[in-house]
Amino acid sequence: KTLKPSLCTVLIVLAIVRCCKCYSCCNAPDFGDAGTPEMVPCRQACRSFITYSSTQSCLMNKTCSNLIRDYTEASRIANERLAQSYVCTGDQRVCFVGVVCGGGTCAEPPNAIGISCEVALRRALCAYHFPRCASDQLIVTNEVCLDTCSAVQIFCNMTVDEVTRVAKCVPRNFGCTSGAGRTPTRVSP
């Protein structure tokens, strides 16, 4: 014996299907101007970098909480490392044996986080926490591009993987998320 669904059951199923199709998480995250106080640091860190769609737009409070946790820890580590590092006065790169300063000289320790390090950290952690998507079913990538991860090492003397829960840096600059904009390669003194 075949059971036939009632008209009411069919209408409920259709309503659920329509509702699910109209709600999408793959959107440009709304960092909002009047959001909760917890959203302010996240907005300041990522709004200028995340101009693409991410499914994290449906999990903004949790994503922002994780981002700020990682950014706070990354800033602490970068400050510790830079306090013991030689840093180029011309382009704010960490000086290593065999690495030539891009103008300027290698300033002796202690040094502190400069603009280039701060921008590199923000760009990398925002790319990490807001992976690019094409639709709710298609995440373009969960990985962070080489140039984005390398900038953290060059300007902050640390790696992104030291502060994130999952290693997502990949040795390529395609098929990955880098955050919008470019990390500075030279900052004028």
| Residue 35, pLDDT score | 60
Residues 6+ apart with CB under 8 A from 37: none
Q: Tally the C-alpha atoms within 13 A of residue 115's C-alpha that lie toward its C-beta.
A: 10
| Residue 181, pLDDT score | 47
The token duo for 94 is: 């960490």
Residuewise pLDDT in 10s, the chain (189 residues): 555 555 544 444 444 444 444 468 999 988 876 567 778 888 899 988 998 999 998 889 899 999 999 999 999 999 999 999 999 988 899 987 777 777 788 889 999 999 999 999 999 999 999 999 999 888 888 899 999 999 999 999 999 999 998 899 999 988 888 875 444 444 333
Which of 51, 60, 184, 69 lies closest to 127 in space, CA to CA?
A: 51
Taking the C-alpha atoms of residue 105 and residue 91, their distance in angstroms, rounded to an integer, is 9
For CA atoms 151, 152, 156, 159, the dihedral sign is negative
With vertex at residue 79, the alpha carbon angle to CA 51 and CA 95, rounded to the nearest 5 degrees, is 90
| Residue 188, pLDDT score | 37
| Residue 186, pLDDT score | 40
| Residue 180, pLDDT score | 57
Q: pTM above the 0.85 mark?
A: no
CB-CB contact of 85 with 114 (8 Å): no
| Residue 96, pLDDT score | 79
CB-CB contact of 113 with 122 (8 Å): no
| Residue 61, pLDDT score | 87
Strands 87-88 and 138-139: unpaired
Looking up tokens 């959107």, which residue turns up? Answer: 27
| Residue 76, pLDDT score | 97
The residues pairing with 107 across neighbouring beta strands, listed in sequence order, are: 87
Q: Is the peptide bond before 110 cis (omega within 30 degrees of 0)?
A: yes
